[in-house]
Amino acid sequence: MNRLKLPSHLNRRQAIQLLGMSSIGYLLNSCSSEFTAKVGDLTEPLNQSFGELLVKPQLLIPEFAKSAIDPKALLLNSYDGTPEIVGGAFLKENRDKYRLTIDGEVKFPMELNLNALKQLPQTSIIMQHVCVEGWAAIVQWGGVRLRDLAKMVQPKDSARYVLFQSADKYTESWDLASALHPQTILADRMNGEILPDDNGAPLRLATPIKLGYKLSKWVTKVSFVSQIPKGGKGYWEEQGYEWFGGI
């Protein structure tokens, strides 16, 4: 089967915009919710395949200078407040109780505490966090590459997606290539300081290749799977947001 090729004169952002302005997008915005759901079910595999084609697993996104960071520009979109991770505010008495579970279709499922995560190679990135609501902020995130965690648990050949669960019940699903991108990290630091509770402590997703709603806060579980379960695309995706969420 021939693979879809993008016209050479289109860059990545223009291709995404073209997809969003397609006749299918027009129909989805103008028809009934029942029709939208049916068309969405039919076109979602195409959207996933199209998005995956745009990801170049080894391509690094240029970083920003430290001088571009504006700590006040990153807005908080948590409407229900900071969740209780293990029975209380995370950064007080419960640091030793936290565990990150990594499971699914992997050879070596495991649970890691914060001390174990600190022993892994650390990295940082100064990137633009882009919210679908129309604002953006330059932020420095620091933590562990998700691809390094994947090397430890060794996903099976059947794994194609990665599911994320958070302490506030927020869920997300990603394609495997985006999750293993070298600039996708589980961050425990923000702008050189310990990640604040309201910004997702102890761990949150950060990457320059996804919109903000894909970057889960308060992550407690990472699962490698071959299929996305019904109703499990993600909190906002199940309400109509585009699944791939790439920039």
Per residue in 31-40, pLDDT tens? 333 433 443 4
pLDDT of residue 56: 60
Q: Does the reported pTM lie above 0.85? A: no
- Of residues 87 and 52, the one with the higher pLDDT is 52
Helix 12-20 / helix 33-54 crossing angle, nearest 10 deg: 170
Q: What is the mean pLDDT of the chain?
A: 80
- Of residues 15 and 125, the one with the higher pLDDT is 125
137-141: average pLDDT: 97
pLDDT above 70 coverage of the chain, percent: 69
Across the beta sheet with 171-175, what order do the strands follow?
A: 110-112, 100-104, 219-225, 161-166, 171-175
Judged against a pLDDT cut of 50, whether residue 48 lies above it is answered with yes
pLDDT band at 97 (very low <50, low <70, confident <90, very high): confident
Judged against a pLDDT cut of 90, whether residue 108 lies above it is answered with yes
- Of 26-40, 54-68, 225-239, the range with the highest mean pLDDT is 225-239
Judged against a pLDDT cut of 70, whether residue 148 lies above it is answered with yes
Q: Are 161 and 177 in contact (CB under 8 A)?
A: no
pLDDT of residue 89: 47
Judged against a pLDDT cut of 60, whether residue 25 lies above it is answered with no
pLDDT of residue 59: 84
Judged against a pLDDT cut of 80, whether residue 17 lies above it is answered with no
Q: Are 130 and 139 in contact (CB under 8 A)?
A: no
Distances (CA, A) of 186 to 8, 15, 89, 229: 34, 28, 20, 23
Per residue in 184-212, pLDDT tens? 999 999 999 999 988 999 999 999 999 99
Q: Are 164 and 216 in contact (CB under 8 A)?
A: yes
pLDDT of residue 52: 54
10-31: average pLDDT: 38
N-to-C CA span, the chain: 27
pLDDT band at 55 (very low <50, low <70, confident <90, very high): low
Handedness of CA 113, 114, 120, 125 (dihedral sign): positive
